[in-house]
Amino acid sequence: MPTKLSTDASIAEPITCILSDVDGVMTDGRIIYDDHGIETKRFHVRDGLGIKLWMRSGFSFAILSARQGNAVKQRALELGIEQVAQGFEDKWPAAEALFETLGCTPAQVCYIGDDLPDIAVMTRVALAVAPADAATDARDAAHWVLRKQGGEGAIRELIERLLRAKGRWQEHLG
């Protein structure tokens, strides 16, 4: 587990998989329904590019959400995210199943979450991360608290920090 004396490079070195919550992390946490009861979500384009760069670097990215919806499936499909687990209020057992599918251990995982259901995973992985506007308890459980808020580029900030620490960011610059 990272300590206050750990460097980004030493923290990032074992990380091969990012597991992300959706609402409040990949989105701003607002749930919007149209007149027909269809739920919509807003995703940040820079997060999408960051996820693609992370996966192009040979690392895994997966989604774990307590809620379920087509918008998440569509965004995952668009980005090439193959592992998406939705509808799991108890996130730890679902996270363990994802680790097995992805062939990784908690010691190789970075989890980013913003609220109480995320803490069970955050406290069991190598690197726990929270967006700037996460709930107090999630921020307290995090090793890194980002400058960006959920849905405002938090995923991109995380990925850029990890790839820079791994010495892999430069390979993505034109």
Distance of CA 104 to the CA centre of its chain: 15
State the CATH number of the domain containing residue 96. Answer: 3.40.50.1000
Is 156 a domain residue? yes
DSSP track, 69-117: -HHHHHHHHHHT--EEEES-SSHHHHHHHHHHHHT--GGGEEEE--SGG
DSSP, collapsed to helix, strand or coil, labels residue 170 as helix
- Asked whether residue 60 carries a pLDDT value surpassing 70, the answer given is yes
Is 158 a domain residue? yes
Q: How open is the CA angle 138-127-78, to the nearest 5 degrees?
A: 85
Is 80 a domain residue? yes
Is residue 140 marked as binding?
Answer: no
Is 74 a domain residue? yes
| Residue position matching structure tokens 């090439």 | 80
Is 86 a domain residue? yes
- Asked whether residue 1 carries a pLDDT value surpassing 90, the answer given is no
Which uninterrupted H or E stretch holds 39?
Answer: strand 39-40
Is 173 a domain residue? no
Mean pLDDT confidence for 74-96: 96
| Full residue range of the structural domain in which residue 35 is found | 8-168
Domain count, the chain: 1
* Verdict on whether the full-model pTM lies above 0.85: yes
Is 46 a domain residue? yes
Is residue 21 marked as binding?
Answer: yes
Is 95 a domain residue? yes
Is residue 90 marked as binding?
Answer: no
